[in-house]
């Protein structure tokens, strides 16, 4: 049995296979997931697990060089936006939500949470450990 890091076997496998600049998405339960993009569904019920809990766990196990959020989160979900930026103290960009959804087409995986607050989605771009 795995002792530390991400215990979810599907997420652990995806993280182990990432290369530099590959992306993954951690999403609320309403984000449309493009056909052909792997979905890992963690949603248990409304709000669980939260985007922040999931992001915190993934960031402990993944080297991230950049995150992308929807521009709309700044006004419509300041709590999740501020907690996300606190957890990832690095380069962050914002794009309109429609563009954000287009960017998810290139992700290796979308991890669907039970989050139910507006625009609670983040794209993580893989960095390198050397």
Q: Tell me the catalytic residues.
A: 20
Helices within 2-66 (DSSP H only): 9-17, 51-61
Helices 78-87 and 51-61 meet at what angle, rounded to 10?
A: 10
Residue 94 annotated as part of some ligand binding site: no
Residue 16 annotated as part of some ligand binding site: no
Nearest Cα to 118, choosing from 25, 30, 24?
30
Q: Which two tokens stand for residue 10?
A: 């599907």
Nearest Cα to 71, choosing from 101, 99, 103, 96?
96
**What's phi and psi for 106, nearest 5 deg?**
-95, 0
Q: Is-contact 123 27, C-beta < 8 A?
A: no
Residue 97 annotated as part of some ligand binding site: yes
Annotated binding site for substrate: 28, 97, 119-121
Residues flagged as binding site: 28, 97, 119-121
């Amino acid at each position: 049995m795995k002792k530390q890091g991400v215990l979810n076997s599907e997420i652990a496998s995806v993280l182990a296979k990432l290369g530099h600049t590959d992306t993954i998405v951690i999403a609320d339960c309403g984000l449309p997931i493009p056909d052909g993009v792997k979905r890992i569904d963690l949603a248990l019920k409304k709000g669980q697990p939260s985007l922040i809990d999931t992001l915190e766990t993934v960031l402990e196990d993944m080297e991230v060089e950049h995150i992308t959020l929807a521009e709309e989160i700044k006004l419509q979900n300041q709590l999740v936006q501020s907690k996300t930026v606190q957890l990832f103290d690095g380069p962050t960009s914002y794009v309109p939500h429609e563009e954000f959804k287009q960017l998810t087409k290139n992700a290796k995986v979308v991890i669907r949470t039970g989050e139910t607050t507006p625009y609670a989605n983040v794209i993580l771009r893989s960095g390198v450990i050397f």
